[in-house]
Structure 1
Amino acid sequence: MRRLLLPVALSFAATAVFAQETAKPKPEDTEVWSPVPPVVTPAGAVTTPPPSDAIVLFDGKNLDQWVQVSDKSSAKWSVNGGILTVNKEKGVGNIETKKTFRNYQLHIEWRVPATIAGEGQGRGNSGIFLASTGTGDTGYELQVLDSYQNKTYVNGMAGSLYKQAIPLANPGLKPGEWQSYDVIWTAPTFNTDGSVKTPAYATVLFNGVLVENHFQLKGETLYIGPPVYKAYDRAPIKLQAHGDKSEPLSFRNIWARELP
């Protein structure tokens, strides 16, 4: 009997290794498709001018407040007619603010082109990283997407804190119409050993409709796998050049107010 145990044990070990190798995490593992938020028809985008204490991040004139994420050179997105448009040329990528933030209030307006094509996540995809903690798509992402009659996983639709928070409602407007986010961001804090002292929170109004109510985040945005925290002190705000084949998005009237 003992002579048979070794081959059997080796067989079980090989099976276990094979199972581990084939069970690699997939993006679909963290996609949630229900409950689908109710559709709400808003009055339109909230176009709030910056108050007296605001830090104006984009006033339609230039990109002096922004840099390329990759190498911190001058931002290379286009400014035309008071509008900032994603540059989808190869090698350009994301941009972020020169200034870093902890807690703040943010106002930003965005528009999906009226000529948008595609479906799901390939339809006007971008993102606002409320804290950009590194190069690429790292940090805490508020999703930008055409969510007007466009089916996708609900923790990846417009107004979601990507792969974490499902919006309370869907007040998305038709492609070609300006839309707005108003955000209250409470940054996480960390102990000296890098462990979480207090988590991050976000409140989001989408076209004037509350879609995230002081939501407690579980960590940074990850496309594959569960969110995790990584210690940081202050961070820029980042705009994403997603790289899909749909027409590029545009932004305008971006400002922030630092909070205690």
Structure 2
Amino acid sequence: MKSLAPLLCLSVLFTQVLSAADKARAWTSPEAALAEDPDFAIQGEYGSDKPGATYGVQVVALSKGAFDAYVLEGGLPGCGWTREKARMQLTGTRVEKDITFPAGQEKISGVIRDGAFHLTLASGEKISLPRIERASSTLGAKPPEGAVVLFDGSNADQWKDGKVENGLLAATGCTSIPLFKDCKTHIEFRTPYKPEARGQARGNSGIYYGGRWETQVLDSFGLKGEENETGGIYSIAKPALNMCLPPLVWQTYDTEFTAAKFDSDGKQTAWPRITVRLNGVLIHDNQELPKTHTTSAPLSGPLTAEGGPIYLQNHGNPVFFRNIWVLPGK
């Protein structure tokens, strides 16, 4: 009888290839994701886009009918929830037409049915939260007078190593040709939908100011909001709250950057500072940047009085940008 070992090896290899392909699958179009993966229509936010809600829920798709749900006391981020309030995690699966979330340690449970998250509290109280789609309040912001338009969808002439795909700027590790000191910046970005991926493999990129200090770009929807997640200033500070929206939703960074200061002898007298708004919500207020650069920055070494570029990191993920402009300080 012939050995079955070669066939078993091929079977294992085929399974591994399929698993790797699943983890690498990245949707870059919401229309395609909606048509091809039923989980995409489930993931998202449930609750109200106005202050005053008792609870809000963020549901993260983990592929093949598996989901995590984060129940937030006081409503969704930016509408009531803050880090001081409860954040409770539920794990759910698809059961026929419903997504069920059994009670865990917090004694709460839920089910997604007919476009709403039906939450049952430990007290027995039931709350129905409709699925909603929020958009950044600064989406589509027009460049003010005096602004330098770095990307408007027509070409990548303002970038070294820039690449335009379907009117969008790809995250190719491109560097702006103009340099800036004090400035205000508006950037719109979109992360892919990668339900099989986890952590830093889930739509990773980054925006560097002065070519040195990074605000992270990542599909960190629903997560805690750490230094290495969207809204974080990498290796320096976590955001006041996680304002990251779901994958394939256009999001915005609006920043005010103050360059490092030097005296007449060229000696540094102050570190740079940055104020950051993610999707229109303040998450860093005049945050000091007390190091010469953050991880993977294209520029390093001692600071100088010269200006620096905007840099869009290539981390091997199909992240895209649009509507990028910078208003230099006076």
Q: TM-score, normalised by structure 1?
A: 0.69
1:147 aligns with 2:220: yes
Aligned to 1:235: 308
- C-alpha change, 1:197 and 1:41, in structure 2 (3 Å) is closer
Asked if 2 retains the 8 angstrom alpha-carbon contact of 1:144 and 1:159, the reply is: yes
**Match for 1:82: what amino acid?**
G
Given that 1:163 and 1:223 are in contact with CA atoms closer than 8 Å, whether structure 2 keeps it comes out as yes
**Shift in Å, 1:229:** 7.0
Which structure has more relative contact order (CA 8 Å, sep 6+)? It is 1
Alignment correspondent of 1:166 = 238
Residues 191-230 of structure 1 correspond to what in structure 2 (within 5 A)? 191=263, 195-223=267-295, 230=302
In 2, Cα distance between the equivalents of 1:194 and 1:126?
33
Tell me if 1:65 matches 2:164: no
Residue pair 1:196, 1:229 contacting (<8 A) in 2 also: no
Cα drift, residue 180 of structure 1: 0.3
Number of the residue aligned with 2:180: 101
Query: Which whole-Å CA distance do the structure 1 matches of 2:302 and 2:328 have between them?
Result: 22
CA–CA separation in structure 1 for the residues paired with 2:271 and 2:260: 5
TM-score normalised by L of structure 2: 0.55
Aligned-partner SS, 1:155: coil
Q: Could you tell me how far 1:115 is from its partner in structure 2?
A: 3.9
Q: Distance in 2 between matches of 1:193 and 1:123?
A: 46
Deviations 1:116-168 (A, max 9, x none): 54111221111111011xxxxxx11111111103467x111111111101100
Offset of residue 193 of structure 1: 6.9
Residue 108 of structure 1: SS of its match in structure 2? strand
- 1:110 matched to which residue of 2? 189
Instruction: Give the match's secondary structure for 1:205.
Output: strand
Q: Is 1:44 paired with 2:135?
A: yes
Q: Secondary structure at the match of 1:156?
A: coil
Percent identity reads: 36
Question: Which protein is richer in strand relative to its size?
Answer: 2
Q: 1:50, CA displacement in angstroms?
A: 1.2
Match of 1:253? 323
Q: SS at 2:210's partner residue?
A: strand
Two-structure CA RMSD over aligned residues (Å): 2.3
In structure 1, C-alpha distance between the alignment counterparts of 2:281 and 2:329, rounded to whole Å: 22
Letter in 2 for 1:166: K
1:81 aligns with 2:151: no
How far apart are residue 254 of structure 1 and its match? Answer: 0.2
Show CA shifts across 1:36-57 (max 9, x none).
xx96157412221212221100
Structure 1: which amino acid aligns with 2:214? E
Q: Which structure is larger by alpha-carbon Rg, 1 or 2?
A: 2
DSSP-derived class of the 1:168 partner: coil
Whether 2:201 is the aligned partner of 1:122: answer yes
Amino acid at match of 1:236: P
1:154-191 Cα offsets, whole Å, 9 max, x none, are 11111111110110011111101000000000011235
SS in 1 for 2:325: strand
Q: How far apart, CA to CA, are the structure 1 residues paired with 2:255 and 2:146?
A: 16
- Cα deviations across residues 103-123 of structure 1 (Å, max 9, x unaligned)? 000000000112454111221
**Alignment partner of 2:200: what SS?**
helix
For residues 195 and 39 of structure 1, what CA distance do their matches in structure 2 show? 45
Q: Distance in 1 between matches of 2:279 and 2:220?
A: 13
Amino acid in structure 1 at the alignment position of 2:77? V
Contiguous gaps of at least 5 residues in structure 1: 1-37, 69-74, 88-93, 133-138
1:221 and 1:163 map into 2 onto residues whose CA distance is: 10
Deviation at 1:192, TM superposition (A): 6.8
Note if contact 2:194-2:203 (Cα within 8 Å) is conserved in structure 1: no
Letter in 2 for 1:113: P
Q: Secondary structure at the match of 1:256?
A: strand
Question: Aligned partners of 2:181, 2:246: CA distance in 1, in Å?
Answer: 33
Give the SS at the match of 1:121.
Answer: helix
Preserved contact between residue 220 and residue 229 of structure 1 (Cα < 8 Å): yes
What one-letter code is carried by the residue in structure 2 that aligns with 1:140?
W
